[in-house]
Amino acid sequence: MKKLLIAAMLFVGIASFAQDADQKTAREPREKLTPEQRNEKQLQKLTTELSLDANQQAQVKQLLAERSAKAEKFREAREAKKESDTKPTAAERETFKNELKAEKEANDAKMKAILNADQYAKWHSIQEKNRDKAREKIREYRKENN
């Protein structure tokens, strides 16, 4: 009886491990969207979640376009640094960090001006949830690669 129980436990363990491995390799690559498509998709999501009116949609669309352009500029600067094989100094990293923080605060202020109080509170909670999800994904990624 003991041998049968041990064999059953071993079988279940192997079967569950095999399924877990299949799920990791079965991840489909994300679809590549243009910045305009990403902005439109995000605008639609915000419209449904926050019940934006037409005026707010136009303002948010403009804000998303500005934010996307600035993000692309930051991304290109980072890639140029990476290609030159020069590591940023501590001062440069701190400056970049402060620029990103200032940009985030400016975007938050603009969203606060566009949205009403309830919409802004809901948008802020959505942002927090998204940050938490991103942190969790980073933790999982680090666990997988260590």
Mean pLDDT of 5-21: 63
Q: What is the pLDDT of residues 63-84, one digit of tens each?
A: 999 999 988 888 888 888 888 8
Number of domains in the chain: 1
CA distances from 105 to 45, 51, 110 (A): 22, 23, 9
On whether residue 29 sits in a domain, the answer given is: no
Contacts of 61 (CB under 8 A, 6+ apart): 39, 43
130 lies in some domain: no
The pTM assigned to this predicted structure is: 0.68
Whether 12 is in a domain gets the answer no
- The per-residue pLDDT for 129 is 93
Q: Are 123 and 46 in contact (CB under 8 A)?
A: yes
Q: Is the pLDDT of residue 101 over 60?
A: yes
Q: Record the tokens describing residue 109, joined without a space.
A: 């202020």
pLDDT at 109 over 90: yes
Residue 125 has pLDDT above 90, yes or no: yes
Domain range enclosing 110? 35-115
Cα 110 from Cα 40, distance rounded (Å): 18
Q: Is residue 123 part of a domain?
A: no
pLDDT at 31: 77
